[in-house]
């Protein structure tokens, strides 16, 4: 591990490749060529190909958890919290399409201990959604059949965005956020 910047640069070069061809479909040669060096030189910055994948995925998941925690600032009611959570979740998957695609598709290729850690983080994230929905049911703001299933459905529909959203598309991100917020509030019987 030399400079951290170089590690990030390599990871960013690997992202479109992992997202497009998958982990096993991408060679160290491909990643190296993307930044104009030889494959063997990558080992000055990462000890293995797996480490590049793990770096990308844990960085993305860590950022998502932090971004979510930050978006809750100033939100008090479950309705406010869920609205912010949905909008931020959706926006994160739109802004960081490649990393979230990789994180969701290649998780089975991660080896321990990274996989266990990532699963733990994901579980933590899901639990936050479940808690917000449950809280909303307690205050009477929400009414729904099952907080867990509802959380799954809401998360899944936000994840889906990373597969079809295009920055140069015809739908504005800000409009998308409004639409997703509205759909979510309806789903939990809120507003």
Partner DNA sequence: CCTACCGATCGGTAGG
What is the distance between the alpha carbons of residues 56 and 144, in angstroms, rounded to a whole number? 36
What is the distance between the alpha carbons of residues 2 and 22, in angstroms, rounded to a whole number? 26
The DSSP element (H or E) to which 45 belongs, if any, is none
Hey, which residues between 1 and 20 contact DNA (CB under 7 A)? 2, 6
Six-digit token string for 164:
């079809």
Six-digit token string for 15:
């992202």
Q: Which is nearer to a copy of itself, 37 or 104 (CB)?
A: 104
Q: Does 50 bind DNA (CB under 7 A)?
A: yes
Six-digit token string for 102:
């990789």
Question: Of the ranges 34-42, 74-82, 97-105, 171-179, which one interacts with DNA (CB under 7 A)?
Answer: 34-42
Smallest separation, CB 33 to DNA (Å) = 10
Hey, which residues between 25 and 44 contact a copy of itself (CB under 8 A)? 25
**Residue 183 dihedral angles phi and psi, to the nearest 5°:** -60, -40
Cα distances from 19 to residues 14, 102, 149, 160, 187, in angstroms, run 8, 5, 28, 14, 31
Q: Does 111 bind DNA (CB under 7 A)?
A: no
Q: Does 26 bind DNA (CB under 7 A)?
A: yes
Smallest separation, CB 24 to a copy of itself (Å) = 4
Length of the chain in terms of residues written = 191
- CA-only gyration radius of the chain, Å: 19
Which of 20, 63, 124, 138 is in the footprint of a copy of itself by CB under 8 A? 20
Note the residues at the interface with a copy of itself (CB under 8 A).
Answer: 20-25, 104-106, 108-109, 144-146, 149-150, 152-157, 159-161, 163-164, 171, 176, 178-180, 182-183, 186-187, 189
């Amino acid at each position: 591990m030399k400079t951290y910047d170089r590690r990030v640069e390599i990871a960013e070069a690997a992202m479109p490749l992992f997202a497009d061809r998958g982990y096993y479909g991408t060679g160290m040669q491909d990643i190296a060529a993307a930044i104009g060096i030889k494959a063997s030189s990558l080992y000055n910055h990462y000890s293995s190909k797996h480490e590049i994948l793990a770096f990308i995925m844990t960085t993305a998941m860590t950022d998502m958890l932090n971004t979510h925690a930050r978006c809750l600032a100033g939100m008090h009611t479950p309705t406010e919290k869920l609205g912010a959570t949905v909008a931020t979740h959706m926006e994160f998957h739109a802004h960081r399409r490649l990393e979230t695609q990789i994180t969701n598709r290649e998780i089975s290729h991660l080896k321990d201990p990274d996989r266990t850690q990532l699963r733990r983080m994901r579980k933590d994230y899901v639990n936050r959604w479940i808690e917000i929905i449950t809280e909303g049911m307690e205050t009477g703001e929400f009414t729904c059949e099952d907080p867990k299933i509802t959380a799954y459905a809401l998360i899944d529909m936000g994840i889906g965005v990373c597969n079809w959203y295009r920055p140069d598309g015809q739908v504005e991100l800000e409009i998308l956020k409004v639409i997703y917020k509205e759909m979510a509030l309806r789903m939990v019987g809120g507003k």
